[in-house]
């Protein structure tokens, strides 16, 4: 995904259809990003809250660092994989349900994190829900991992495929050169939460951090990655098959894969 998408609840609930593929194909998060979050939040031995934990792409690296987590995941199929992936961590608790319906039950957390999921939370309520869940001084850490295509020729060929099938906002939708230098500069795409958070007025010490890393996908893995994305899941099976087949032919014609630059963008803020 090239940054957050607009809230569409039909799309927000399609990931469970391919939970295992999602877990295998989706990129994870760097150790440096995890360190940034923990250094900022300094949760100590307290519990953190993860919103939209999915299959645990972010949960596992935080749990490996000793963070105890309550994970809220709306899709039971994703939660099943999440439980398997975190079974070795006694400090991980999984709650199946939406963040909008979840109740903290008097608990207050020192850290709320959301990995490529905050944009699925109701925009009218998400900052209220965060404040209700956080202790005074608690931190919000929201992060995404948009990507850009390194080879202009590959990008141009894939753009032709996307245009032919009416696809927009795909992970290969922008060249790496189109991204700016700052966190949240997503080649002109909206969704970075800073303005919304500042308008809320209850948060301070707002920061943005960007990490970059090269990533290469072979054709099969990249097609699996695409197949796990909501914009592909909502296509009819026949259309999805044609789009992925055409995409695969482009990658095979360019060496059997795609080289990307991943921008791990982290938003941090602290509730008063």
DSSP 185: -
In the chain, the number of structural domains is 1
- In 3D, which of 79, 77, 71, 75 has the Cα closest to residue 50? 71
Residue 3, pLDDT > 70, answer: no
- In 3D, which of 96, 63, 64 has the Cα closest to residue 78? 96
Q: How high is the pLDDT of residue 4?
A: 55
CA dihedral 74, 80, 84, 86 (to 10 degrees): 10
In a domain, 2, yes or no: no
**CA-based torsion, 242, 2, 140, 115: positive or negative:** positive
Condensed to tens digits (0 to 9), the pLDDT of residues 7-44 reads: 454 444 555 556 777 777 778 899 999 999 999 999 88
Q: How high is the pLDDT of residue 188?
A: 72
- More confident of the two residues 6 and 109: 109
* Mean pLDDT value across residues 91-104: 96
Asked whether the beta carbons of 144 and 4 are under 8 A apart, the reply is: yes
SS3 268: strand
In a domain, 1, yes or no: no
Condensed to tens digits (0 to 9), the pLDDT of residues 221-263 reads: 999 999 988 889 889 999 999 999 999 999 999 999 999 999 9
Residue 83, pLDDT > 70, answer: yes
| Euclidean distance between CA atoms 140 and 137, whole angstroms | 10
In a domain, 3, yes or no: no
Residue 1, pLDDT > 50, answer: no
Condensed to tens digits (0 to 9), the pLDDT of residues 150-208 reads: 999 999 999 999 999 999 989 999 999 999 999 999 877 778 999 999 999 999 999 99
Say which CATH number the domain at 248 has. 3.40.50.150
Share of the chain residues as helix, strand and coil, in percent rounded to the nearest 5: 40, 25, 35
| Euclidean distance between CA atoms 244 and 239, whole angstroms | 9
Domain that holds residue 57: 9-271
In a domain, 34, yes or no: yes
- In 3D, which of 235, 234, 254, 94 has the Cα closest to residue 172? 254
Burial class (CB in 10 A: 0-12, 13-18, 19+), 76: exposed
Q: What is the pTM of this model?
A: 0.88
């Amino acid at each position: 995904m090239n940054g957050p998408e607009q809230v569409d609840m039909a799309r927000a609930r399609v990931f469970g259809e391919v939970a295992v593929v999602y877990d295998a194909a989706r990129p994870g998060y760097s150790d440096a990003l995890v360190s940034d979050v923990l250094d900022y939040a300094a949760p100590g031995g307290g519990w953190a809250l993860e919103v939209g934990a999915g299959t645990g792409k972010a949960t596992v690296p935080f749990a490996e660092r000793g963070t105890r987590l309550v994970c809220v995941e709306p899709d039971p199929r994703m939660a099943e994989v999440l439980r398997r992936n975190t079974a070795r961590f006694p400090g991980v608790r999984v709650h199946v349900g939406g963040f909008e319906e979840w109740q903290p039950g008097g608990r207050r957390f020192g850290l709320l994190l959301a990995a490529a999921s905050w944009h699925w939370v109701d925009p009218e309520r998400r900052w209220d829900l965060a404040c209700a869940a956080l202790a005074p001084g608690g931190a919000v850490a929201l992060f995404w991992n948009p990507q850009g295509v390194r080879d202009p020729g590959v990008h141009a060929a894939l753009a032709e495929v996307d245009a032919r099938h009416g696809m927009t906002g795909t992970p290969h939708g922008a060249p790496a050169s189109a991204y700016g230098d700052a966190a949240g500069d997503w080649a002109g795409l909206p969704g970075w939460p800073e303005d919304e958070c500042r308008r809320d007025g209850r948060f301070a010490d707002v920061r943005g951090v960007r990490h970059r890393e090269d990533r290469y996908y072979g054709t099969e893995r990249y097609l699996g990655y695409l197949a796990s994305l909501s914009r592909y899941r909502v296509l009819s099976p026949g259309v999805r098959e044609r789009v992925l087949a055409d995409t695969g032919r482009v990658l095979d014609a360019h060496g059997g894969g795609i080289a990307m630059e991943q921008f791990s963008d982290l938003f941090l803020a602290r509730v008063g």
